[in-house]
């Protein structure tokens, strides 16, 4: 899978040559590596019954600000430092994350760590479904994160995050395209979870669930199928792509999908529709597909 290349602060910041996805067959031989950190972001009841041996449980809300209306914004700096400490980013050579829903929560962790400058994180393709259904070892023994440690967050990677101002500034930029990962009903505005329904002007819609393969344990669909979806909507690897949904959960999965296809310029709009749709000063489109 290749090695790593050093970059600037923070001190754990490394440019990874690991692909964003890892298959169960690739992960199993790594389980004895004491520098590998396994993180389960599924439901707590699922974790208590079955998880990858050695996996630690991380409560998904720790990755979110949780404040209304835009609950999906990044948490404050002290919580990010707490997260970095819990995950021991200063000593883990690689983090592998998974969940029980096809990768959305795990992808949000991957996106967050990329924002913190830590790129040596992979998402288990298919998550616990693929792992368990394909006969890999499982455990019921819990592993606890160290909640006492924090690590200073010295810098962030600005190319990972799109703010409301950044999105607004690039609405008429042909080199930037928005990918809305919500359902077609949310995109069209017939179903709304904000003061206004609809989508950000010019955004293209791909429901995140349409990128999963239920016949392959919720893995991403094949690269050619995914590329066809993107090409049909005029999304090109030469463009910068900004993904969003309601709270940057489903769109973190879309971010991961694009990274897996080799897209190099992909941002996540953490505020997503919960921020945009509740701000009456921002433009909205309705209808379309």
Enumerate the active-site residues: 245
For 182-210, b where at least 16 C-beta lie within 10 A, e where not — what string? Answer: bbeebbbbeebebeebbbbeebbbbbbee
CA distance 119 to 20: 9
**CA proximity to 235, closest of 205, 276, 267:** 205
Angle at 175 between CA 171 and CA 181, to 5 degrees: 65
Name the DSSP letter for residue 150.
-
CA distance 278 to 262: 33
End-to-end CA distance of the chain: 38
Helix (H, G, I), strand (E, B) or coil at 85: helix
């Amino acid at each position: 899978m290749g090695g790593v290349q050093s970059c600037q602060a923070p001190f754990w910041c490394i440019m990874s040559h690991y692909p964003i996805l890892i298959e169960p067959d690739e992960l199993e031989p790594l389980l004895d590596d004491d520098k590998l950190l396994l993180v389960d972001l599924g439901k707590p009841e699922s974790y208590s019954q079955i998880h990858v041996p050695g996996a630690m449980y991380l409560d998904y809300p720790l990755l979110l600000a949780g404040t209304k209306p835009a609950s999906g914004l990044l948490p404050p700096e002290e919580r990010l430092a707490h997260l970095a400490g819990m995950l021991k980013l200063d000593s883990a050579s690689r983090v592998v994350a998974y969940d029980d829903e096809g990768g959305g929560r795990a992808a949000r962790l991957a996106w967050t760590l990329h924002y913190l400058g830590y790129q040596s994180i992979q998402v288990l393709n298919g998550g616990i479904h693929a792992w368990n259904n394909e006969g890999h070892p499982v455990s019921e023994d819990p592993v606890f994160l160290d909640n006492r440690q924090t690590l200073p967050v010295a810098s962030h990677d600005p190319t990972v995050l799109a703010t409301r101002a950044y999105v607004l500034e690039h609405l008429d930029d042909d080199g930037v395209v928005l990918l809305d990962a919500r359902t077609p009903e949310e995109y069209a505005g017939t179903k709304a979870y904000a003061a206004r329904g609809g989508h950000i002007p010019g955004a293209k819609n791909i429901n995140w669930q349409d990128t999963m393969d239920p016949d392959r344990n919720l893995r991403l669909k094949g690269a050619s199928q995914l590329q066809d979806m993107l090409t049909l909507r005029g999304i090109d690897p030469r463009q910068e792509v900004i993904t969003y949904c309601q709270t940057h959960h489903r769109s973190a999965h879309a971010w991961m999908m694009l990274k897996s296809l080799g897209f190099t310029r992909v941002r996540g709009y953490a505020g997503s529709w919960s921020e945009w749709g509740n701000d009456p000063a921002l433009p909205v489109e309705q209808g379309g597909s």
